Amino acid sequence: MGGAVSAGEDNDDLIDNLKEAQYIRTERVEQAFRAIDRGDYYLEGYRDNAYKDLAWKHGNIHLSAPCIYSEVMEALKLQPGLSFLNLGSGTGYLSTMSLTVSHASAFQETGITGPFGINHGIELHSDVVEYAKEKLESFIKNSDSFDKFEFCEPAFVVGNCLQIASDSHQYDRIYCGAGVQKDHENYMKILLKVGGILVMPIEDQLTQIMRTGQNTWESKNILAVSFAPLVQPSKNDNGKPDSVGLPPCAVRNLQDLARIYIRRTLRNFINDEMQAKGIPQRAPPKRKRKRVKQRINTYVFVGNQLIPQPLDSEEDEKMEEDNKEEEEKDHNEAMKPEEPPQNLLREKIMKLPLPESLKAYLTYFRDK
């Protein structure tokens, strides 16, 4: 699946293409996609394919096409404080995006699920769960986006999503990343809270299902898709499948809550400082698309044949001049020395009159 938009040179370029094609339609979803670099979830040696609108699979590792994830994120309508269950969580790319989206401003932000939401994923393959945990740890330690958000860290478990224990809690938002047979539709619906939204591929349609009451539902087809079907559970010696327990909905401890509120207070202080100085919020740079030069053909007779001859129009010449100017500007910008990224939150934390060990805890033990 995929190929609906042009390939991008990098993550931002891909997102520009998805916006232009109307797959990404809201600022919240755009911010989530920009915060998480899709290429970081590819294996080394395959990153060149990351910014194409194509699905990717290597062994048990799989990523859907960007246009699919865009429609999924838009359809889920995630909000801070909600519980989210990702069935077939894979690399953790979608689960991580669900926790990183702008809520207020460039310096005061809350993840989609917020710090007090629930973010769970269940994945069939244990090696993929380990891969997802590694990628999550790398995001926390290395991503420039991490300190811009309050977030609810995803918790992943190994298991078949068709074997979830019957006494499991329900969720506000659910996404299933594999084809659901009609026989399993009601099973998926039971996991959803009243007022919740379930997005899943069923009968070759990506479908949004809203639970409007205890026994009432509203469904809407979003996009024609082709997904591999859910793997049927295997049975144990008793002839019954083993049940899978989802992560507990644990309350945060006092130490964790203190870290959240200290970081939030510092973000608010930074935001007030920036507003007082009149510093505008910096939006991601938008690339100028190079205009394609089109030719006007004239035709001349050569012997008995009618041969097309290209003829430059005045508009073509103007485009060529504009493209040259843009290329010169891009070259001049590239020659300027890059300013090192400034992490204002980290700077504030490191200036606090606290022991170094506590400062490290407040920064999530990040090195930058």
Q: Which residues form the catalytic set?
A: 64
What are residue 302's phi and psi, to 5 degrees?
-125, 105
Helix (H, G, I), strand (E, B) or coil at 171: strand
Q: Which residues pair with 211 in a beta bridge?
A: 217
What does DSSP say about strands 305-311 and 171-176: parallel, antiparallel, or unpaired?
unpaired
User: Nearest CA to 100 among 144, 65, 68?
Assistant: 144
3-state class (DSSP) for residue 120: strand
Neighbour-count burial of 189, counting CB atoms closer than 10 A to its CB (0-12 exposed, 13-18 middle, 19+ buried): middle
Q: Where are the beta strands (DSSP E) in the chain?
A: 56-58, 61-63, 83-87, 118-123, 155-158, 171-176, 192-202, 205-211, 217-224, 296-302, 305-311
Q: What 3-state DSSP class applies to 314?
A: helix
**Most distant CA pair in the chain: distance in Å?**
90
35 vs 63: CA distance, rounded Å: 17
Assess contact for 10 and 62: CB atoms under 8 A: no
How far is it, in rounded angstroms, from Cα 109 to Cα 57? 33
What is the SS3 assignment for 256?
A: helix
Q: Is 154 in a helix, a strand, or coil?
A: coil
Report the distance separating Cα 206 and Cα 109, nearest Å: 30
- The strand pairing partners of 223, in sequence order, are 206
